[in-house]
Amino acid sequence: MEHKDSPQGDLESTLKQSARQLVDSLEKGNFGEAVQLIHELNKARDRGLYQEVGKLTRELHNAIVNFQIDPRVPHATEVSQITDATERLNYVVTMTENAANKTMDLVEQSAPLINELNDEAHSLSADWGRFMRREMSADGFRELAKRVEAFLARSERDSAKLSGHMNDILLAQDFQDLTGQVIKRVTQLVTEVESNLLKLVLMASSVDQIAGIEHNHELLRAEQEQQKMPSSGEGPQIHADKRDDVASNQDDVDDLLSSLGF
């Protein structure tokens, strides 16, 4: 049975066996033997503990090797995977910021072109209406013809420029592909780290069991809760639509505020 192989299993069976012997010895009045048994029990418990601590140390070492951190040189020039992941995420921040700025630059350059074209078209069509209603002199018409000619040339030039800006805006979205790949790799690393940490926690818990250490989880959690600053902000909520304590959109916010008398 696998259970028997585990140190807890060993300890358990030794414990049970010795306990019976202990009771026997005590009932027989054989105190020397009883003390000897207690001593052996202690030894068995210590052995289990050493074994578990040994395993824990080994796992810890493996985890460190997996993260590629050199324990002798914490600030080694060779980057650990965590440092590498941090750099990758910084790269995502830079890429997205650059793309956002580039897009906004182009929009800010395009907006006045469109406004000017619109204003000129508006003014020309008013004058065109006067011409159609024969309310315009020959001189006025010559002036209008010149403006129409200039407007056509300008439309051609500006629409080419606008179309160029549109293309550049499209190209500025190429970050999505690169940042997507980077984020996927970092997510993978986080999952690996989590499962390694979980292994360590499991090992540590068997040490706790043998050593008879108990943690007050509720107290620990309460302490952590207290450390969370309530007003420091949490950032965007994921799965907001599935949670009751989170407003999932502006309508929710408006409803809540109006229920408060806003």
Partner 1 sequence: MKILIVDDFSTMRRIIKNLLRDLGFTNTAEADDGTTALPMLQSGSFDFLVTDWNMPGMTGIDLLRAVRADERLKTLPVLMVTAEAKRDQIIEAAQAGVNGYVVKPFTAQVLKEKIEKIFERVNG
Query: Would you tell me which residues interact with partner 1 (CB under 8 A)?
Result: 97, 100-101, 104, 107-108, 230-237, 240, 245-250, 253, 256-257, 260, 262
The minimum distance between CB 84 and partner 1, in angstroms, equals: 24
Amino acid letter, residue 95: M
The minimum distance between CB 216 and partner 1, in angstroms, equals: 27
Burial class of residue 165 (count of CB atoms within 10 Å of its CB; 0-12, 13-18, 19+)? middle
Q: Which is nearer to partner 1, 103 or 196 (CB)?
A: 103
The minimum distance between CB 237 and partner 1, in angstroms, equals: 5
Where does residue 79 fall: left (phi above 0), alpha (psi -120 to 50 degrees), or beta otherwise?
A: beta
Closest C-alpha to 11, from 45, 43, 52, 42:
45
Amino acid letter, residue 126: A
The minimum distance between CB 226 and partner 1, in angstroms, equals: 16
As a whole number of angstroms, the distance between CA 162 and CA 165 comes to 5
Q: Which is nearer to partner 1, 29 or 230 (CB)?
A: 230
Q: Which is nearer to partner 1, 137 or 231 (CB)?
A: 231
Q: Which is nearer to partner 1, 143 or 254 (CB)?
A: 254
Q: Which is nearer to partner 1, 213 or 256 (CB)?
A: 256
DSSP codes joined into one string, 31-58: HHHHHHHHHHHHHHHHHHHHHHHHHHHH
The minimum distance between CB 225 and partner 1, in angstroms, equals: 13
